[in-house]
Amino acid sequence: MLKSITFSVIATAISFSTWAQAPADTAKAAAPAPPPLSITGSADMYYRYDFNRPVAAPYNSFTSFTQKHDQVQLGMATIKLEHKTAKVDMVADLGFGQRAKDFDYADDPSYGGGGGILQAIKQLYISYSPASWIKFTAGTWATHVGYEVVDAYANRNYSMSYMFTNGPFSHTGLRADLTSGKHGFMIGVSNPTDYRTIPDGGQNNKNLIAQYSYSASDNFKLYLNYVGGRDIADNKVHQYDLVLNTRFSGTFGIGANGTVNVSSAKDGDTYDPSHTWYGAAAYLLLDPKPWFGLTLREEYFSDKDGVKIAGGGNVFASTLTASFKVDGFTFMPELRLDNGSKEFFGKHDGAAAKTDASFLIAAVYSF
């Protein structure tokens, strides 16, 4: 009898102890603490064939990152480390490869930069949020201007637009981001566009950067962007930019980007008359399956004053890209047709042409 009573007491105690611990264990499992350090990365590569079969650089590619013909090319390998606390965020975003080198061209020795490992720094900044509605950031970060970004996995097309290629890539300075409901505001001061360090002999000017954003929902977002001031040669440069992101359903959406750049070159103690280039693009997005998507980019780029296109002119480019996704891997076949107002493109026999067609396949992986 004593043995039976003792067993019953022990069993009851164990049962009570288990019941008492269960709610705490369940609560802990339901709300795990977010890791203070996150590590993400990506890699991409491509093969491009130009049907005009050009024999000299830039092989009929006047946009960033895909400037080789009939060659398998490595794009960029990236590693991004982000450490967060309640109020502070530090990001070190590194890239290795030709894509990263082109993105940080201003650190190349030919532009007066230090070269080397500096060109592997895509972004490096520290943010401080004293309150939920305001954040201060210091360092270098990818530009807020435009629809496309440097990372291949974050774009719907693999080849880049003329607007991306000729617009700003990055900014180095100090900025403040403020949010109020559906509205966002950013204002900051930075070095001249793309320069982390002012080269010897360059003008140590400062630029104003700004953005207004409106997010009605996940299906409609609008961004008004600005960057302007004087560059390292003391020329005046101002760029105004609009980006729209819309989703009409789970399978169809439209993106849009328009940008205008106005510049005036310094001539002694005065400035030349202003020159303007501008562009506009529409992105038609179709995602019939979670693993398959199509993107058609239609872009018009105009530079009649010859700021970016030697001799001036305009280009209309159509790019159709398919995306096949498996886990973090995306396979991207792409067909592109560029039509110029002049004979900008070359052929294998040395003749000039107004049009150029190319086919590209890209492999992109991100984690």
Q: Is the pLDDT of residue 8 over 50?
A: no
Q: Is residue 298's pLDDT more than 80?
A: yes
Q: Give CA–CA dist 329/280, Å, rounded.
A: 30
Provide the mean pLDDT of the chain: 91
Return the closest-CA partner of residue 333 out of 359, 296, 366, 358. 359
Write out pLDDT tens, residues 135-186. Answer: 999 999 999 999 999 999 999 999 999 999 999 999 999 999 999 999 999 9
Question: What pLDDT was estimated at residue 117?
Answer: 81
Give the Cα separation of 247 and 77 in Å (integer). 31
The average pLDDT across 340-362 equals: 95
In sequence order, the 6+-apart residues with CB closer than 8 A to the CB of 315 are 62, 162, 299, 300, 301, 309, 338, 339, 340, 341, 344
pLDDT digit string, tens, across residues 72-125: 999 999 999 999 999 999 999 999 999 999 999 998 887 777 777 888 999 999
Taking residue 247's Cβ as centre, other Cβ atoms within 10 Å add up to: 17
Residue 204: partners with Cβ closer than 8 Å, 6 or more residues away: 198
Rg of the chain over all Cα atoms, to the nearest angstrom: 26
Length of the chain: 367
What pTM, to 2 d.p., does this model score?
0.88
For residue 13, pLDDT over 60 is answered with no
Rounded to whole angstroms, how far apart are CA atoms 220 and 356?
A: 35
Please report the pLDDT score of residue 190 as a whole number. Answer: 98
